[in-house]
Structure 1
Amino acid sequence: MKIGYARVSSTGQDYQTQLDKLQAAGCEKIFHEKQSGKSADDRAQLQAALEFARDGDIFVITKLDRLARSMNDLTSITSKLQKNGVGFVVTDQQIDTTTPTGKLLFNILGSLAEFERDLINARCDEGRKAAKAKGVQFGRKPKMTDDQLEGIRADVKAGILSMQAIADKYQIARNSVYRLAGAKEAA
C-alpha cells in the first residue's frame, strides 16, 4: 500500500498541490497537517502515518522538506521506515529508497537540504544583527509615548485626579497607572 504524507507550515498555506501529487502517485491513504516542521514528535499526523505503515508499504512525500528540517530528523524517520520494512519515495526529487541508486540520491539530497537550511538560518541571523546595529528595534512597539508616560507621572504626582480617572484619561488599566508611575497600589 502507498501511504502519503503532506504538510504545510502555517494556516495561510495550502497543501492541495501536495495532495494532488500524492493521489497521482497512487497513494491509497494520505495523512496531512498544518504544523511546523521543526520536530517530528510534534506532528500528530506524521506519527499516525508512521504507525499506520506496515512491512511492504511505501511511504510517499512530495519533497524532503515536507518531512524533516534536519538530516538527523530525516535519518531518524527513514531509519524507522526501513526497520519496519517500509519503502520511501519522494516524488519531486524522484527518490525511491527501494533501489540502491535511490538510497544514494536520498542521502545526498538530504545533506544538501540541511546545508541549505543552515545557510538560510545564518543569513537571517546576519540580517538581524545588521538591523540591530542600524538601530532597528525588534519586538512589540510601545503602546505609550514618552510624553504620555510623563503625563501619567505628573498627574499622579499632582494628586488632583484619582488613579481611576488617570487610567480613564489614558485608556489604560488602573494597575498600569500604578506600575507606570512607580506608585504603590492601595490594598
Structure 2
Amino acid sequence: MKIGYVRVSTEEQRVDLQKLALKRAGCGKIFCDHGVSGSTFKRPGLSRALESLEPGDTLVVWRLDRLGRSLIGLVQLIDSLGKNDIDFASLTEAIDTSSSGGRLVFHMMAALSEFERTLISERTRAGMEAARAKGQRIGRPPALSGSEIEAARQAIFIDGEDVSEVASRYKVTVRTLRQSMRRTAA
C-alpha cells in the first residue's frame, strides 16, 4: 500500500496540490501536518503516517523537503524505513527506493550527507584551533568576572555569608558560583 504524507509550514499555505499529486500516485491513505516546520521530525501527522506503515508499503511525498529539511535526518529516516522493508518515493525528485535507480540516488544522498558531516566537523575544529591560536576563549562566556569571584569568595569565607545568598546576589546558581571559585583558585 502507498501511504502519502503532506506538510505545509504556515497556516496560510494549502495542501491541495500535494494531496492531488499523491492521490494520482495511488496513495490509499494520506497524512497531513498543517502549519508545522520541517526542521524537526517530531510531527503528529508524520508520526501517524510512520505508525501506519507495514513491510511492503511505500511512504510517498510530493517533494523531499516536505518530509524534512535536514539531509542527515532524511537519510536516517529513509534508511530506517528500508530496514523495515518499507520503500520511499518522492514524486518531484523521482526517487523510488523500490527500484535500483532509486536506491542508487538514495545511497548517493547518504554519501553526500556523510561528506557534509565530515566537512562541517573539520571546519569547526579548524575554526576553534584558529581562535585558540589568537588567544580567544572558546565556549560560553564566564558567568562571573574575576572581581565578582573574588568579592564572592571574600563574602563567603571572610564575612561568613551563606553561599546561596551570595549566588543569588550575582544571579547565578550555587553550583556555578562554586565552579567559578574552583577555576580561579588554581
Q: TM-score range by the shorter chain?
A: 0.5 to 0.7
Aligned equivalent of 2:83: 79
Distance of 1:174 and 1:123 partners within structure 2: 34
Aligned equivalent of 1:26: 22
1:127–1:112 CA distance, 2 compared to 1 (3 A):
same
Instruction: Tell me, yes or no, if the aligned pair for 2:96 and 2:103 is still in contact at 8 Å.
Output: yes
1:1-187 to 2 correspondence within 5 Å?
A: 1-4=2-5, 14=9, 22-23=18-19, 25-26=21-22, 28-30=29-31, 32=33, 36=40, 48-54=48-54, 57-61=57-61, 62-63=63-64, 66=68, 69=72, 74-80=78-84, 83-84=85-86, 86=87, 88-156=88-156, 159=159, 162-163=161-162, 167=166, 170-172=169-171, 179=178
Instruction: Tell me, yes or no, if the aligned pair for 2:32 and 2:45 is still in contact at 8 Å.
Output: yes
> Alpha-carbon deviations, 1:25-47, whole Å to 9, x = none?
3264225576656xxxx888656
- TM-score between both structures, scaled by the size of structure 1: 0.56
Distance of 2:154 and 2:48 partners within structure 1: 61
Q: Percent identity?
A: 23
1:169–1:45 CA distance, 2 compared to 1 (3 A):
closer
1:45–1:122 CA distance, 2 compared to 1 (3 A):
farther
Distance of 2:17 and 2:119 partners within structure 1: 29
SS of alignment partner, residue 72 of structure 2? coil
Q: After alignment, is 118-127 or 48-57 more displaced?
A: 48-57
1:43–1:154 CA distance, 2 compared to 1 (3 A):
same
1:77–1:6 CA distance, 2 compared to 1 (3 A):
farther
- TM-score between both structures, scaled by the size of structure 2: 0.57
Q: Which amino acid aligns with 1:167?
A: V
Distance of 2:129 and 2:14 partners within structure 1: 36
1:54–1:77 CA distance, 2 compared to 1 (3 A):
closer
> Alpha-carbon deviations, 1:114-169, whole Å to 9, x = none?
3223322322232233323333333332232111222233445653x8548x7399
1:52–1:119 CA distance, 2 compared to 1 (3 A):
same
Instruction: Tell me, yes or no, if the aligned pair for 2:5 and 2:46 is still in contact at 8 Å.
Output: no
